[in-house]
């Protein structure tokens, strides 16, 4: 506990006098440094958390949560009616895919083609979006392409494009690659430039005819009720389909999310150094304060104030500076995290520069997700660092010899 005398002395020393002006400057810089360090750390963590969440939502919204591919045996559809599978599954669709070359006038491009039946295609979340344009049924000899690809090819709904298959067809002049023409029936917008440019949808029967695919090799796409619990769901699916190749959205994007995790942890460590550097200013400020208050400390000791009280006084001064700086930094960080997109737009307009370009980061706006657990950890780390650096000057003040201090003052 802190006594009334200790409180009075703490608040008196916090209000530095004119002769202690240099100490006041150091305290202000310590406060600003810690506040900025905490704020920047919160902003960066919020943006990185938001980026990860947005990326997961885009990937999960476009790709199946779990894919089951057959090795030698056809997938038994009846197994999906089991209670263990049914309770975790929202939807399952039979599909197939392959890679071909899209041709339009003088432009050619490699593309991934995903095949569905007419009824299966309209069940996709992608098709249910408001920004989906065109027919929601995937008819024979029709194709659905991404928004970005439609811009690149300069085509719209109702126009024709050709798809070339690597599989040949025998003619009188030899083997030639298969090529079919399809009508653009719809245009989708996944929100990820990578998907919109490189993926298209055609009827599964067209796909299998064009690429000579075996119907018995069709695979099943599972869409889960809770895609975030992918690991536990995958274990149940593997248990029921032990003879098939099973992979999830997390498996196909493992390297990406591992890189994001490492980057977030490294940024946390690097930005924590800002707080540590700012906290060391507290040592300087308190050490100078102890030097300036040597006579007063000696008088306090001579009238019976214990060393523990002296230590508490100077320790609390450093802790209070760190605590209020941390609180201010948290408030500042949260405010900036909430309005980060508005700030990005403002800076882009004022300085005429592209901040967070979509073609690099896959997203059209700067995301932000405030995680209060992360904020609590950041705040705790800041206060702990401040507490540690306050021990040395507080201990130095407590060890002062009152007789020598009064004699040589």
Residues 313-357 pLDDT 10s: 778 878 888 888 889 999 999 998 888 888 877 777 777 776 666
pLDDT computed for residue 262 by the predictor: 81
pLDDT computed for residue 239 by the predictor: 85
- Quickly state the pLDDT bin for 5 (edges 50, 70, 90): low
Instruction: Read off φ and ψ for residue 166, nearest 5 degrees.
Output: -70, -15
Q: What CA–CA distance (Å, rounded) separates 177 from 49? A: 46
List, in sequence order, every beta strand (DSSP E) within 225-309.
244-248
Name the DSSP letter for residue 180.
Answer: E
Place of tokens 């007419």: 118
| Six token digits for residue 272 | 């924590």
Instruction: Read off φ and ψ for residue 249, nearest 5 degrees.
Output: -60, -30
Residues 171-211 pLDDT 10s: 666 567 788 899 999 999 887 778 888 999 999 999 988 88
Q: 127 near 134, Cβ under 8 Å?
A: no
* Of 296 and 54, the one with more pLDDT: 54
pLDDT computed for residue 216 by the predictor: 82
Closest CA to 198 of 68, 63, 356: 63
Q: For residue 113, what is the enclosing H or E element?
A: strand 107-116
Q: 368 near 340, Cβ under 8 Å?
A: yes
The pTM of the full predicted model, rounded to 2 decimals, is 0.70
Domain boundary assignment for the chain: 4-57+256-408, 89-224
Place of tokens 């021990």: 391
Q: What percent of the chain has pLDDT over 70?
A: 83
| Six token digits for residue 134 | 């065109």
Whether the CA torsion 32, 33, 39, 44 is positive or negative: it is positive
């Amino acid at each position: 506990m802190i006594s009334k005398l200790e409180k009075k002395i703490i608040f008196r020393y916090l209000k530095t006098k004119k002769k202690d002006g240099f100490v006041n400057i150091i305290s202000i810089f310590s406060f600003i440094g810690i506040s900025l360090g905490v704020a920047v750390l919160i902003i960066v963590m919020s943006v990185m958390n938001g980026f990860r969440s947005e990326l997961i939502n885009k990937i999960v919204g476009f790709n199946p949560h779990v894919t089951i591919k057959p090795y030698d045996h056809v997938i038994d559809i009846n197994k999906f009616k089991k209670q263990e599978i049914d309770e975790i599954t929202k939807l399952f669709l039979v599909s197939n895919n392959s890679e071909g070359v899209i041709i339009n006038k003088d432009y050619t491009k490699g593309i991934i083609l995903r095949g569905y039946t007419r009824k299966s295609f309209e069940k996709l979340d992608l098709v249910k979006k408001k920004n989906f344009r065109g027919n929601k049924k995937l008819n024979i000899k029709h194709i659905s392409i991404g928004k970005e690809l439609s811009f690149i090819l300069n085509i719209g709904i109702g126009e024709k494009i050709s798809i070339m298959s690597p599989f040949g067809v025998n003619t009188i002049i030899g083997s030639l690659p298969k090529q079919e023409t399809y009508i653009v029936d719809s245009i989708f917008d996944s929100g990820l430039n990578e998907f919109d440019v490189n993926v298209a949808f055609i009827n599964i029967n067209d796909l299998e005819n064009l690429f000579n695919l075996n119907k018995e090799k069709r695979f099943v796409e599972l869409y889960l009720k809770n895609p975030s619990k992918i690991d536990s769901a995958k274990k149940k699916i593997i248990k029921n389909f032990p003879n098939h190749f099973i992979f999830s959205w997390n498996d196909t994007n493992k390297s990406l999310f591992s890189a994001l995790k490492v980057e977030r942890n490294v940024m946390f460590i690097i930005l924590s150094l800002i707080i540590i550097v700012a906290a060391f200013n507290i040592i300087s400020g308190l050490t100078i304060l102890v030097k300036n208050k040597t006579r007063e400390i000696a008088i306090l000791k001579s009238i019976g104030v214990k060393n523990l009280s002296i230590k508490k006084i100077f320790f609390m001064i450093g802790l209070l500076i760190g605590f209020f700086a941390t609180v201010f930094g948290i408030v500042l960080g949260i405010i900036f995290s909430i309005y980060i997109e508005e700030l990005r737009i403002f800076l882009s307009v004022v300085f005429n520069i592209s901040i967070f370009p979509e073609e690099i980061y896959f997203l059209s706006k700067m995301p932000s997700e405030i995680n209060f657990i992360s904020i609590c950890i950041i705040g705790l780390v800041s206060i702990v660092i401040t507490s540690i650096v306050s021990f040395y000057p507080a201990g130095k003040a407590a060890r002062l010899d009152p007789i020598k201090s009064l004699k040589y003052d």
